[in-house]
A and B are shown apart, each in its own frame.
Chain A
């Protein structure tokens, strides 16, 4: 049982390049989330999904797109990277109907992205 797996762990991009971050969970969770973490800013929600085929905007969605084609995967795309997107990105998942306590989020180890 791997939990939440994020790939890649590190990436350096040049301004204007594109990339996709992959998140995979094996807990049969319904909900998945993408956050970014910056010093002094805590966690900020970028996009989230409450089920396969659905996505919604979070607090800071601009410059990012997401897709949830399969229940276990949640992809975060940067179409044209900017230095302001230098951050640590975390994926999380939560909620299965078997959960006794709802809304506990399980996090991946993070992706450190630098945009030069």
Chain B
């Protein structure tokens, strides 16, 4: 079945780059998304990438997509304390079904 996998925790020092990885199984994915969940809040879309792209950059965020390996990554440059959150990878398949990963909790070390 369709599945989205990501590691549960990541610790990064303030000012370093954070790289959060995700793998998915459905080769018919149309869009892939990164959502951010801050403490006590709902998920908010951070960025997305269309499946025919391999990279998207938006200020401190870089999304890389390796469609052959079904691997998606989110790089956050110059990580700040405000980036501390849970990051969810998600994919949309051709049937408009959205599959979320379990989320990666990003912890920022001083």
Residues on A lying within 8 angstroms of B by beta carbon are 4, 31, 40-43, 90, 92, 94-95, 101-110
Contacting A107 at CB < 8 Å: which of B33, B43, B50, B101?
Answer: B43
Main secondary structure of the interface of B (DSSP, over half): strand
Q: Is the CB of B92 within 8 A of A102?
A: yes
CA distance A86 to B102 in the complex (A): 18
CA distance A110 to B86 in the complex (A): 15
Contacts A42-B100, A42-B103, A104-B33 given; indicate if A90 touches B43 (C-beta within 8 A): yes
Main secondary structure of the interface of A (DSSP, over half): loop
CA distance A108 to B45 in the complex (A): 12
Contacting B48 at CB < 8 Å: which of A94, A95, A101?
Answer: A101
B32-65: CB near A (< 8 Å → 1, else 0) gives: 0101000011111100101000000000000000
Q: Is the CB of A41 within 8 A of B98?
A: no
Q: Closest residue to B41 on the A side, CB-wise? A: A109
CA distance A75 to B102 in the complex (A): 25
Interfacial chain B residues near A102, Cβ < 8 Å: 30-31, 92, 96
Contacting A42 at CB < 8 Å: which of B31, B42, B50, B102?
Answer: B102
Interfacial chain B residues near A109, Cβ < 8 Å: 40-42
CA distance A42 to B100 in the complex (A): 8
Q: Is the CB of B102 within 8 A of A41?
A: yes
Query: Taking the nearest CB of chain A, how far is it from the CB of B2, in angstroms?
Result: 11
CA distance A56 to B61 in the complex (A): 36
CA distance A9 to B42 in the complex (A): 12
CA distance A102 to B31 in the complex (A): 8
Contacting B8 at CB < 8 Å: which of A40, A94, A95, A110?
Answer: A40
CA distance A87 to B92 in the complex (A): 25
CA distance A4 to B31 in the complex (A): 22
